[in-house]
Structure 1
Amino acid sequence: MRIVLVTATELPVPEDVELPVLQAAASRAGLTADVACWDDPAIEWAGYDLALLRSTWNYPSHLERFQAWVDATAAVTRLVNGPAIVHWNSVKTYLGDLHAAGVPTVPTTYLAPGEPVELPGYADIVVKPTVGSGARKARRFRGGTLSAATAHVKWLHAEGHTAMVQPFQYRVETDGERALVHVGGEFSHAIVKGAVLSSVTGVRGEHAHPDVRPYEPTAAEREVALAALAVAPEAPLYGRIDLVLDDTGSPIVMEAELIEPHLFLEHGPGAADRLLTAVKDLLAG
């Protein structure tokens, strides 16, 4: 069977280092895996038995085009994760769905263009667009700079974005951010990484994933991650749930990455094989 790992023509990093790892795992599973870009009009997607979304990391800049491609591709081959998940997960208003379902999440206020810019009364806040990745266009503002936060919301509105405002979670600076990877609905592995937004500049540093190291999540963290996955419109074949600890030390969801997450395969022995075996089983079913 022939599958394709889907990337993009322009990446915010030099390369997706996980693609060759997944290609090798595909070969071990008895699959032929090509690599192609979602935004390459020359690709004949119908020629593949399955398209596995991987590093489509430029989609936030081309959301409507990407969503149209998702629907068109899913009409001619099996797309994983599927269109319902992609449409839901590509806009961070899904955090509201998680909250409504009782999943602990970072409190989030949404401010759409045209709405009054009234910030919640947090002393230390994060402002970012509802469509984005890698903390791009995200900024942290402390008490004395909240007027700058208002200006950043207005700038996001001028760029056509709905803004989201969240209280900064202080424990990320000491306890880090956890990323729990799941394959086939089951926990695979996890990492913990440092804070992405600088405590000095308020913006992202050089790396989207600083100071990564393996991590063994607690039972409570696993429970929250599984609860978040269960809210998706359909069961995802793969996913990464990013958690932080709130002021009480309880895990809460910061992001649910179900489209093109970096999976930290180097920290999950056998994870690539588990994913490609799940792909093979999906095709066989």
Structure 2
Amino acid sequence: MSRRIVLVTATELPGPDVELPVLRAAADRAGLVAEIAAWDDPTVAWDRYDAALIRSTWNYFDKVEQFQDWADAVSGVTRLVNSAATIRWNSVKTYLGDLLAAGVPTVPTTYLPPGEPIPLPRYDDFVVKPTVGGGARGARRFRSADAQEAPEHVAALHAQGFTAMVQPYQKRVDTDGERAIVYFGGEFSHAIVKGPVLSATTGVRDAEPHPNPRPYEPSDAEHAVARAALAAAPEAPLYGRLDLVLDDAGAPIVMEAELIEPHLFLGFAPGADDALMSALKHLPGW
């Protein structure tokens, strides 16, 4: 009897998940029965499935605690991939502090919780964004000339209930791009490099969430940093996309560890969809 899996999406998406039909077809080729369901659809019987593979839960940013509780509940009735522990850790960007504490080269980050004083920025060029979000949602870039507007943005994030985070802008993103390195089952699958997401003129996100993506071959140093970040997760993730940038000295550092619902750029890597399904089928205990 074929195993039944569910590809998990959301009832409302900011845009279509073009990888859902690709992965559903790959599941069919792997001999799996795949369905698609939304995490926030209360009518779904998750215990009908042998595994739930999170894909495009792109509305959890506004209800992160509900999403975390959903993950805990679903993991009690089926195999959730990635795990509920990984979701709790990765859904709030304070995990970057954990990476830094574990010795993983990471973009320096200062956290500003609601109710605490808003200090003046320490950088000439910096980014302010919420600790919960994706695709540069709520992120703004400031320079010294307009830094007086930064506390207002922090206050606006606080008013929405978010902790704000301040990071120095990594200038080499503008020239060298941002790397997205994808692993399945702990093994490297593929990578792309893309342009800067935050506009140099307006300081806010451009319309394209992944500007000018193109295939990329990571260096040994980039693989080492990405694998160290994967190893720091609470549990070994089946899939992960590590977003790296180069610091001023040209060394790779982690911008984000995307272990919940990342776009995987499958269109740039023929066979990657099948590789993900193969990794899923070879999970211990399956």
Which TM bucket (shorter chain)? over 0.9
Q: Does 1:11 align with 2:13?
A: yes
Q: Does 1:146 align with 2:147?
A: yes
Contact between 1:119 and 1:165, CA under 8 Å: does it hold in 2? no
Q: Residue 199 of structure 2 aligns to which amino acid in structure 1?
A: S
Structure 1 Cα separation of the partners of residues 240 and 140 of structure 2:
25
Show the counterpart of 1:224.
Answer: 225
Structure 1 Cα separation of the partners of residues 285 and 254 of structure 2:
34
Show the counterpart of 1:104.
Answer: 105
Which structure 2 residue ranges, 5 or more long, are not aligned? none
Q: Residue 160 of structure 1 aligns to which amino acid in structure 2?
A: G
Structure 2 Cα separation of the partners of residues 273 and 130 of structure 1:
33
Structure 2 Cα separation of the partners of residues 71 and 260 of structure 1:
16
Q: Residue 213 of structure 1 aligns to which amino acid in structure 2?
A: R
State the Cα distance separating 1:269 from its structure 2 match.
Answer: 1.9
Contact between 2:183 and 2:240, CA under 8 Å: does it hold in 1? yes
Structure 2 Cα separation of the partners of residues 166 and 278 of structure 1:
35
Contact between 2:121 and 2:147, CA under 8 Å: does it hold in 1? no
Superimposed CA distance per residue, residues 245-265 of structure 1 (whole angstroms, 9 cap, x where no aligned partner):
000010000000000000000
Show the counterpart of 2:183.
Answer: 182
Structure 2 Cα separation of the partners of residues 72 and 101 of structure 1:
29
State the Cα distance separating 1:120 from its structure 2 match.
Answer: 3.8
Seq. identity, %: 69
Note the 1:1-285 alignment, pairs <5 A: 1-13=3-15, 15-282=16-283, 285=286
Structure 1 Cα separation of the partners of residues 120 and 54 of structure 2:
36
Q: Number of paired residues?
A: 284
State the Cα distance separating 1:225 from its structure 2 match.
Answer: 0.2
Structure 1 Cα separation of the partners of residues 158 and 63 of structure 2:
17
Q: Residue 242 of structure 1 aligns to which amino acid in structure 2?
A: D
Contact between 1:6 and 1:52, CA under 8 Å: does it hold in 2? yes
Superimposed CA distance per residue, residues 144-181 of structure 1 (whole angstroms, 9 cap, x where no aligned partner):
11110111111111111100000000000010000000
Superimposed CA distance per residue, residues 240-285 of structure 1 (whole angstroms, 9 cap, x where no aligned partner):
0000000001000000000000000011221111110111122753
Q: Residue 4 of structure 1 aligns to which amino acid in structure 2?
A: V
Contact between 1:108 and 1:166, CA under 8 Å: does it hold in 2? yes
Which structure 1 residue ranges, 5 or more long, are not aligned? none
Structure 2 Cα separation of the partners of residues 79 and 251 of structure 1:
31
**Consecutive aligned runs of 4 or more in structure 1 exceeding 3 Å deviation:** none
